[in-house]
Amino acid sequence: MPESLVPACVQLEAAFRDAWASPDFHQRLDALLRDYAGRPTPVTECGRLSAELGVRVLLKREDLTHTGSHKINNVLGQGLLTVAMGKGRVIAETGAGQHGVATATAAALFGLECTVYMGQVDIERQALNVFRMRLLGAEVVAVKSGSRTLKDAINEALRDWVATVETTHYCIGSVMGPHPYPWMVREFQRVVGDEARAQCRSLLDGADPDYVVACVGGGSNAAGTFAGFVDTSARLVGVEAAGGAAIGRGVPGVVHGSKSYLLQDEYGQVSEAHSISAGLDYPGVGPEHSYLAATGRARYVAADDGEVLSALQLLARFEGIVPALEPAHALAWVMRAARTGELPAGSTVLVTMSGRGDKDAEQVMGILER
Amino acid sequence: MTELEKALRAARDKGRKLLVPYVTGGLGPHWIEALMAMAAAGADAVEIGIPFSDPVMDGPTIQEASARALEIGATPPEILTALERSAVGVPLVAMTYYNIVFRGGHRRFAHSLAAAGVGGAIIPDVPLEELDDWAPAAAAAGVATVLLAAPVTPDDRLAELCRRTEGFIYGVNVMGVTGARPSVAGSSAMLAKRLKAVTDKPVLMGFGVSTPEQAVELSTEADGVIVASALMRILLDGGSPEQVGDVVGAMRTALDRG
């Protein structure tokens, strides 16, 4: 992290520590999560899909939150912090647009100015979310440098932040970036895992699921989900996009303020990720995932674009739920692993349905009806 | 004391304002010629950018220069080899981002800089708290670890940065990224004063220095300036190494006139 941003990170860490230890902050955040975001989200038992796959599939339904993805959990927390720090503007990066929409939503709710950086490639494939952000009063800036996707949107947001840090909070959307972000964002997302754990125990007569599966780009929904299960015997599985598998194919690197697995060349130049899913089109991954992978507590696998499209259609037809392309990666692995027997027949599998598929409908239509 | 610091102190102590131009390594076939032209035009040291794919502290010009160098295949070893073969005659300071250093290996990278005659390194995304891998490796190779201070850096931190920096302290003129700006920010003189108050090491100001007038204004409080984007703009727009040398020469003349 550049020296110019160190004071802001120090200030943010102090603000978060204070807030996280304050019953008043938790009360306000919990009220927003309940009354504004629509929490708790249910865990849905997938009867027909389970019969088809031979494993018992439960979905944690973050797709049912306000704005349609788990991203709302984090932005409400960071929105409250922004106000507490006396800053009047937020900036954010976005890939699929879900975090951008969530940030724009929180900015409207808290009366903050908002600028969202989005790669030109993503703007083209997520036009609906771009419109939603503008409708919510945010300025959306097209990033035309580098690969013109999420990584470059983060670069541009950091460049904005260096110039505006005294009045602007950078609302990072995933468990990445410099300290305290990976920790703070995980804490704001752990509501997903904490709720799911209690809900699973109620559904499973006090037991935990055998497997807990979530998609991983930067890894915020997986981090939040895993936080609820890391001290249980559930096996944790993170599913990366085959074209952006930082843990699967990367080596350690340092970019955007954290050390983690990173897709890069032999000289340390960061590679471009390639995925059907804009939200997973990122060459890095949150450092805690690298840690969980290195210690073996979680396993990281990959799903390719083709199996992701199949999974999306399967869930739509068997359960009446159209997932976003990101969580369709988690489902795709479950489908494959159930078929190959890697998931033993009869296992119970919790999958975090991190977002709904509306934003991807146009893109998927373009592919399926081509 | 590092060789870089000795050279810069010696020049400063003669009453000279320091001028450190920058060139992106591997930017086209003429970057070494541009470097030589800078040295010949009166540079006290030259900063060599080792391009990185994600230069978050850089504005549009250095981003473009880095991207173009990488597109035509620039790599750290090739850039350093080219430097090794050139007798530039002034101290060289590398500027790159931490992942290039980390991937290369701290010790190996430091030694490759030293072997190429590079006496210092600026790694703007390594904060004070993360120096412990790089700084000792650099010191072992005789490479100065040059630290940056920003207008928002608090006093205690500023003092610590000045204590740990080697060669010189790099004062960042503005809150923002690199790139030419129409006028000098008020934050610059204030930071230069604060730096001079706590250190005897050379204080060089950079970011947004594009004209001889700005160079003079910025070095009133400080010991000198670093000039980057304005020079790379010339090369990116098809200008010659001689044109780059002329601009550096004009800055030299203005600084010497005071």
Residue A238 covered by a domain: yes
Contact assessment for residue A85 and residue A15, using Cβ atoms and an 8 Å cutoff: yes
Most B CBs within 10 A among A1, A3, A144, hence the mutation to make, goes to A3
- If one counts the domains in chain A, the total is 2
Task: Provide the residue ranges of all domains of chain B, joining segments of one domain with +.
Answer: 19-250
Model confidence pLDDT, tens digit, residues A328-342 = 999 999 999 999 999
Predicted pLDDT of residue A99: 96
Q: Do B154 and A2 touch (CB under 8 A)?
A: no
CATH T-level assignment (fold) for domain B19-250: TIM Barrel (3.20.20)
Q: How far is A170 from chain B (nearest CA, A)?
A: 14
Is A217 in the same domain as A107?
no
Q: At what angle do helices A361-368 and A305-319 cross, to 10 degrees?
A: 110
Q: How far is B255 from chain A (nearest CA, A)?
A: 28
Residues 265-294 of A with CB under 8 A from B: 266-270
| pLDDT of A128 higher than 90 | no
Q: Do B54 and A268 touch (CB under 8 A)?
A: no
Residue A229 covered by a domain: yes
Contact assessment for residue A228 and residue A196, using Cβ atoms and an 8 Å cutoff: yes
Number of helices (H), then strands (E), in chain B: 12, 8
Residue A182 covered by a domain: no
- Residue A188's contacts (CB-CB under 8 Å, 6 or more residues apart) are A73, A74, A76, A77, A78, A224
Residue A168 — pLDDT band, cuts 50, 70, 90? very high
Question: For tokens 């009047």, what's the residue?
Answer: A88
> A137, A170, A203 — which closes off a domain?
A170
Q: What is the mean pLDDT of chain B?
A: 96
Read off the CATH number of the domain in which A328 is found.
3.40.50.1100
Residue B246 — pLDDT band, cuts 50, 70, 90? very high
Is A17 in the same domain as A89?
yes
Question: Between B67, B100, B147, which is nearest A267 by CB?
Answer: B100
Residue A29 covered by a domain: yes
Predicted pLDDT of residue B258: 81
Is A164 in the same domain as A245?
no
Is A227 in the same domain as A283?
yes
| pLDDT of A125 higher than 90 | no
Is A74 in the same domain as A209?
no
Is A154 in the same domain as A256?
no
Q: A306 in helix, strand or coil?
A: helix
- Residue A176's contacts (CB-CB under 8 Å, 6 or more residues apart) are A182, A218, A219, A256, A257, A258, A260, A284, A285, A286, A287
For the entire predicted model, the pTM comes to: 0.96
Pairing of strands A258-262, A251-255: antiparallel
User: Minimal CA–CA distance to A162: which of B57, B149, B186, B181?
Assistant: B57
Is A239 in the same domain as A152?
no
Q: What is the mean pLDDT of chain A?
A: 96
Q: Do B102 and A253 touch (CB under 8 A)?
A: yes
Model confidence pLDDT, tens digit, residues A194-211 = 999 999 999 999 999 999
Residue A183 covered by a domain: no
Average pLDDT over residues B36-45: 98
Is A145 in the same domain as A241?
no
Predicted pLDDT of residue A204: 98
Range of the domain at A305: 43-69+191-368
**Cβ atoms within 10 Å, residue A22:** 13
CB of B257 within 8 Å of a chain A CB? The answer is no
- Residue B188's contacts (CB-CB under 8 Å, 6 or more residues apart) are B151, B171, B173, B174, B205, B218
Is A63 in the same domain as A113?
no
| pLDDT of B215 higher than 90 | yes
How far CA B124 is from CA of B58, B77, B144, B154, in Å, comes to 10, 20, 14, 17
Interface size, chain A vs chain B, as Cβ–Cβ contacts under 8 Å: 104
| pLDDT of A237 higher than 90 | yes
